């Protein structure tokens, strides 16, 4: 299973407040633990690593250049509820968007002759939170002949 999770560096930085005392740090940590059960995202809540998984991840065609077909399912999970979109970066198309959700699942019929890259993107910030790939592989590699040539005759 290919799982590529991109941690949001901005959120990591948010966890390292230089002017917060140890006591207030503990208080914040306790508040964050309590707030973790809330459905609404809190401004100071640390965002866990976003996960975007696709299964299966390899599509096998008989020959290079042939369209490969594969029923795939995406599963994603995010630390906080918000508006997210699953986007096919290779084709620059939006597959599905969710509103105010922290996790989701989407199945579709993949059809392509080349590998595709997908990202989970925050709808408002246009930040890619996680990335996944569907790899198109093949058994036989056929090479197209040159356009017009005489070799012997």
Partner 1 sequence: MNSTYKKILVTAVTLLSVTLSSASIAADIAHAIRNNTQDNTTTENYFEIGIGAAMGVAPKLASSEEQWKGRSLFINGSYNWNGLFIEKYGESSDPFVIGYNAYNSDNWSFDVVVGSKYGGGAFTNKRFDGLDERKGSTMFGGRLTGYFGDNIFQFSAKHDISGNTNGFAASAVAGRNWQLRNWNFHGMLGLYYYNSSMNQYYYGVSAEEAARTEFTEYKPGGNVNFTAEVGVTYPITEDWVFRATARARTVSDEDMDSPLFMTRRSSAMALSTSISYVF
Please give the residue ranges that form the binding site for partner 1 (CB under 8 A).
Answer: 59-63, 66-69, 137-153
CB of 99 to partner 1, least distance (A): 33
On whether the CB atoms of residues 103 and 74 are closer than 8 A, the answer is no
The 3-class secondary structure across 35-65, one letter per residue, is: HCCCCCCCCCCCCCCCEEEEECCEEEEEECC
In the block, tokens 């290779």 appear at: 90
Nearer to partner 1, 132 or 136 (CB): 136
* Least gap, CB of 73 to partner 1 (angstroms): 17
Q: Which residues, at least 6 apart from 50, have a Cβ–Cβ distance to it below 8 Å?
A: 5, 6, 7, 8, 76, 77, 78, 79, 120, 129, 130
Q: What is the DSSP letter of 79?
A: E
Residue closer to partner 1, measured from CB, 45 or 133:
133
37 vs 150 by CB, closer to partner 1? 150
Q: Name the residue nearer to partner 1 (CB basis): 9 or 147.
A: 147
Q: Which residues contact 41 (CB under 8 A, 6 or more apart)?
A: 80, 81, 82
The DSSP bridge partners found for residue 104 are 76
Least distance from C-beta 72 to partner 1, angstroms?
13
Least separation in angstroms between residue 97's CB and partner 1 is 28
In the complex, least distance from residue 17 CB atom to partner 1, rounded to whole angstroms: 50
Query: Which of 24, 111 has the CB closer to partner 1?
Result: 111
């Amino acid at each position: 299973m290919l799982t590529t999770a991109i941690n949001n560096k901005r959120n990591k930085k948010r966890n390292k407040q230089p002017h917060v005392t140890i006591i207030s740090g503990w208080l914040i940590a306790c508040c964050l633990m309590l707030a973790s059960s809330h459905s609404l995202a809190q401004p100071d809540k640390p965002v866990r690593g976003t996960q975007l998984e696709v299964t299966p991840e390899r599509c096998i065609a008989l020959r290079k250049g042939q369209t490969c077909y594969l029923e795939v399912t995406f599963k994603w999970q995010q630390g906080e509820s918000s508006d997210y979109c699953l986007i096919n970066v290779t084709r620059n198309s939006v597959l599905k968007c969710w509103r105010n959700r922290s996790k989701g699942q989407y199945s579709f019929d993949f059809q392509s002759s080349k590998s595709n890259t997908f990202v989970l993107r925050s709808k408002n910030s246009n930040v890619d939170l996680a990335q996944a790939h569907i790899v198109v592989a093949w058994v036989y590699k056929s090479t197209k002949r040159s356009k017009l040539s005489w070799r012997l005759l």
